[in-house]
Amino acid sequence: MHTVMDMPLIALAPVPSSNLSVARAPRGAAQHRCKDVLLATAAGTEHQTLHNQLKAEGYQVRQVFDGHEALEVLMSPSAPSIALLDESLPGLSGPDVVRCIRERGTERYVYSVLLVAHTGREATMLGREAGADDCLGKPVHTRELQLYLHSAERIVEMERRLAEARDRFKTQATRDALTGLSNRMDIMEILDRELGRTEREGSALAVIMVDLDHFKRINDSYGHPAGDTVISEAARRMSEAVRVYDAVGRYGGEEFIVVLPGADLQTAGRVAERLRRAICERSVATKMGALDVSASLGVAATKGDGLLSAEELVKRADTALYQAKEEGRNRVVLGSAIQPPVAAMAAASRLTEVHAEAI
Ligand code: GH3
Ligand code: MG
Ligand code: MG
């Protein structure tokens, strides 16, 4: 149990009644968050006193004595969210450090307070012009510092919550809730982006459309929840079977689309066969028992010559998929083999041979 004498002096400083609400510590997550602050002062100034005050306030202090070092810390991904910067730092001045981080942009917002010799209008305006959030007069007054830090924490906490909400909305807008894969809009955006790159670089790109076979029967016989389990497991198996730079998305229902940057038709055909096997090689464990599942896949590719749009590529892959269904399901059909039926058969048998040795 602490006695009044054990408490840091900082907590005993008088608070003007009009400032009471400002002085209150921020509520909620901010209180549990690791409090991290950058203290950048010239060596020999009141740095030790400030350091001690910040420690007493519960901050983890990163201390530097040079403007360039301060900039380096603030530009790093693990930068503290609050920075106290002396206006006259060696190397790079406090205002210059702030100007740099505002111009370059930091991963997260850095609330910056300049420690200034004169708090007159001129100095404050210069600080704000550089992008500082506040200016604090030297020598730093204990209680004043405490109040500035609380303001900083409120802003930092608000920014953290906004970033969290933005990430949550982004996930909801781009992910499919059942499988965690990219949703249709997101995978089509990925395809568009990759197609653009393909055309710039003159490289190949392939698309595979995947549709689970007789899926309605699974739903009808074992119920929708069991069907959901099968869809999720098929998604997981496909994700595991592709390279990190390939993208798998849920196109809708029990249909998926896979985007393979750099893959030509033959390569994509081999990947499709690997996916087919990954989906059907083991039954899927559901609450209704182990269920067998298979899929039909259609493949289309472009050489990066700009002749095919994303929609045309998908359409070609879809037509190939339709053909796979027609031919009896649980198989891969290559899109380019579609037009002349004889060539289609030749390609399909070629594919089976290639797979036997390559997969
Ligand atoms: P085919 O081999 O020709 O593809 O036959 P199919 O039965 O798979 O094709 P169809 O398109 O007739 O049926 C797809 C079924 O997928 C119908 C629909 O109820 C079901 N489905 C779509 N979305 C979901 C989902 O999110 N969960 C579950 N459990 N079923 C879904
Ligand atoms: Mg189906
Ligand atoms: Mg379908």
- Min mean pLDDT across 20-29, 264-273, 295-304, 314-323 is at 20-29
∠ CA 309-310-315, rounded to 5°: 95
Q: Give the H/E segment covering residue 237.
A: helix 224-241
Pocket test for ligand 1, best of 184, 215, 326, 327 (most atoms within 8 A of CB): 215
For ligand 1, atom 21: residue with the closest CA: 253
Distance 294 CA to ligand 2 centre (A): 9
The residues annotated with a catalytic role in the active site are 254
pLDDT in tens, 157-184: 999 999 999 999 988 999 999 999 999 9
- Delineate the domains of the chain, giving CATH numbers in brackets: 27-172 (3.40.50.2300), 176-345 (3.30.70.270)
Can you tell me whether residue 82 is helix, strand or coil? strand
**Among the listed residues 10, 300, 332, the one whose alpha carbon sits nearest the alpha carbon of residue 146:** 10
Q: Which ligand is nearest to the CA of 324?
A: 1
Return d(Cα 223, Cα 249) in angstroms, integer: 24
pLDDT (0 to 100) of residue 323: 97
Pocket test for ligand 1, best of 209, 219, 222, 255 (most atoms within 8 A of CB): 219
Distance 232 CA to ligand 2 centre (A): 14
Task: Render 145-194 in DSSP notation, one character per residue.
Answer: HHHHHHHHHHHHHHHHHHHHHHHHHHHHHHB-TTT-SB-HHHHHHHHHHH
Distance 255 CA to ligand 2 centre (A): 7
Kindly state if the Cβ of 329 falls inside 6 Å of ligand 1: yes
Average pLDDT over residues 53-65: 93
pLDDT of residue 194 exceeding 70: yes
Kindly state if the Cβ of 227 falls inside 6 Å of ligand 1: yes
Q: How many alpha carbons fall within 13 Å on the CB side of residue 161? A: 9
Distances (CA, A) of 121 to 114, 276, 333: 14, 71, 74
Q: How far is CA 358 from the centre of its chain?
A: 35
pTM of the entire structure?
Answer: 0.68
Kindly state if the Cβ of 327 falls inside 6 Å of ligand 1: no
Distance 256 CA to ligand 1 centre (A): 12
Percent of the chain with pLDDT over 90: 72
Q: Give the H/E segment covering residue 257.
A: strand 255-261
pLDDT of residue 136 exceeding 70: yes
pLDDT of residue 190 exceeding 80: yes
Question: What count of other Cβ atoms lies within 10 Å of the Cβ of residue 16?
Answer: 10
139 cis-preceded (ω within 30 degrees of 0): yes
Taking a C-beta distance cutoff of 8 angstroms, is the pair 227, 291 a contact?
no
For ligand 1, atom 31: residue with the closest CA: 253
Distance 358 CA to ligand 2 centre (A): 27
Q: Which ligand is nearest to the CA of 322?
A: 1
- Min mean pLDDT across 40-44, 78-82, 276-280 is at 40-44
Kindly state if the Cβ of 224 falls inside 6 Å of ligand 1: yes
Taking a C-beta distance cutoff of 8 angstroms, is the pair 114, 93 a contact?
no
Q: What are phi and psi of 294, to 5 degrees?
A: -140, 170
pLDDT in tens, 203-252: 999 999 999 999 999 999 999 999 999 999 999 999 999 999 999 999 99
33 pLDDT tier (thresholds 50, 70, 90): very low
pLDDT (0 to 100) of residue 75: 96
Residues 6+ apart with CB under 8 A from 93: 67, 87
Kindly state if the Cβ of 325 falls inside 6 Å of ligand 1: yes
Q: How far is CA 212 from the centre of its chain?
A: 30
Ligand 2 (ion): residues with CB under 5 Å are 211-212, 215, 254
Distance 214 CA to ligand 2 centre (A): 5
- Min mean pLDDT across 18-22, 202-206, 238-242, 260-264 is at 18-22
Return d(Cα 194, Cα 120) in angstroms, integer: 55
Return d(Cα 126, Cα 181) in angstroms, integer: 49
Measured from the Cα of 213, ligand 1's closest atom is 2
Question: What count of other Cβ atoms lies within 10 Å of the Cβ of residue 63?
Answer: 19
pLDDT of residue 132 exceeding 80: yes
pLDDT in tens, 95-105: 999 999 999 99
